[in-house]
């Protein structure tokens, strides 16, 4: 998998801004086109941002191209997403599917069935267990999210100490984040005391962190894998009055966490970007297959540099839902 090229990044940025989709532009094919966008419901901050940007893309593309019908479908669980996808596939002729799978394993088979009908498949963020199904893949660099955080933390702890980790939902991207983090930590003397799933959910992270605090009398740092979970971790630590935890880190660049970074918060002085707007870029890139743009295939990864007080303004969007 390659990092997104400069040309591809400029293409996606131009599309997201509407530059390459002028109103009234002619379709490459004189026929109606249906693009279904299947995404998780706004059950937490990041997916709330995904829904927002998907709906924005729907409005903009349909305004520019009357022949393209973008159908945004949200689901509150993997089972619901499979059911909705089966219904849409049975009742419509799908030219393209843009999907952010609720979970990788449960959605791979259903997406493969849609692909068998000749549908163009774009996968976003949470990869399928069989990547050969997808024509286009757009995601953040999850290995870098984990690895860059781990390198910073290892340096600050002097390669010594004891930490706990919170995982997200069982998906390819969670596996990648954990691999990036764990591979770096394996080269240090830092011990990972515990690592369990909290499903990228603030309340579940609060409960899990309470368990960690009760179980371990000394914890030097926490990596929550995601900013929604980080908020739950911080709440649990503050309620317990624990002063041994030097750092509590997450990832994804939630604006509330970016504010902490901007303020040079001692416990949460960094984050990593993982913008929910990647769904919008993927929808535009998919629409480009049918709207006379340069067809795009392959896998594109967005960079994951550390967000620090020095560069936080570049990643801070106060009007964003995330």
Residue 279 forms part of a structural domain: yes
For residue 84, the enclosing domain spans: 6-134+275-303
**pLDDT tens digits for range 19-70:** 344 444 444 456 799 999 999 999 877 888 899 999 999 999 999 999 999 9
CATH of the domain at 281: 3.40.50.2300
Domain count, the chain: 2
Which residue bears the tokens 């829904």? 51
Same domain flag for 12 and 130:
yes
**pLDDT tens digits for range 168-219:** 988 888 999 999 999 999 999 999 999 999 999 999 999 999 999 999 999 9
Residue 1 forms part of a structural domain: no
Give the predicted TM-score (pTM) of the model. Answer: 0.73
Same domain flag for 38 and 100:
yes
For the cut 60, the answer to whether the pLDDT of residue 14 exceeds it is no
**pLDDT tens digits for range 44-54:** 778 888 999 99
Residue 310 forms part of a structural domain: no
For the cut 90, the answer to whether the pLDDT of residue 303 exceeds it is no
Residue 69 forms part of a structural domain: yes
Q: Which residues contact 164 (CB under 8 A, 6 or more apart)?
A: 192, 193, 194, 195, 209, 212, 216, 219, 222, 223
């Amino acid at each position: 998998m390659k990092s997104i090229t400069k040309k591809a990044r400029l293409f996606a940025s131009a599309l997201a801004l509407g530059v390459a989709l002028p109103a009234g532009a002619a379709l490459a094919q004189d026929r109606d086109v249906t693009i279904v966008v299947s995404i998780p419901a706004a059950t937490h901050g990041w997916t709330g941002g995904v829904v927002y940007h998907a709906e924005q893309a729907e409005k903009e593309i349909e305004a520019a191209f009357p022949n393209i019908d973008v159908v945004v479908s949200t689901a509150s669980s993997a089972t619901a997403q499979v059911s909705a996808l089966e219904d849409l596939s049975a009742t419509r002729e799908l030219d393209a599917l843009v999907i952010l799978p609720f979970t990788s394993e449960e959605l791979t088979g259903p997406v493969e069935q849609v692909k068998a009908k000749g549908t163009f498949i774009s996968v976003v963020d949470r990869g399928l267990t069989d990547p050969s199904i997808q024509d286009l893949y757009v995601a953040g660099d999850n290995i870098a999210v984990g690895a860059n955080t781990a390198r910073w933390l290892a340096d600050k702890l002097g390669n010594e100490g004891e930490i706990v980790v919170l995982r997200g939902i069982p998906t390819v991207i969670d596996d990648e984040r954990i691999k990036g983090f764990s591979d770096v930590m394996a080269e240090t003397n830092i011990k990972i005391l515990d690592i369990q799933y909290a499903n990228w959910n603030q309340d579940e992270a609060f409960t899990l962190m309470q368990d960690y605090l009760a179980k371990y009398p000394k914890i030097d740092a926490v990596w929550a894998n995601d900013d929604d979970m980080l908020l739950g971790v911080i709440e649990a630590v503050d309620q317990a009055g624990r002063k041994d935890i030097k750092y509590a880190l997450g990832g994804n660049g939630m604006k509330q966490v970016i504010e902490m970074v901007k303020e040079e918060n001692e416990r949460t002085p960094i984050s990593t970007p993982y913008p929910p707007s990647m769904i919008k870029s993927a929808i535009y890139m998919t629409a480009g297959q049918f709207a006379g743009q340069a067809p795009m295939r392959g896998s594109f990864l967005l960079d994951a540099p550390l967000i620090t007080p020095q560069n936080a303004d570049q990643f801070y969007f106060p009007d964003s839902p995330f």
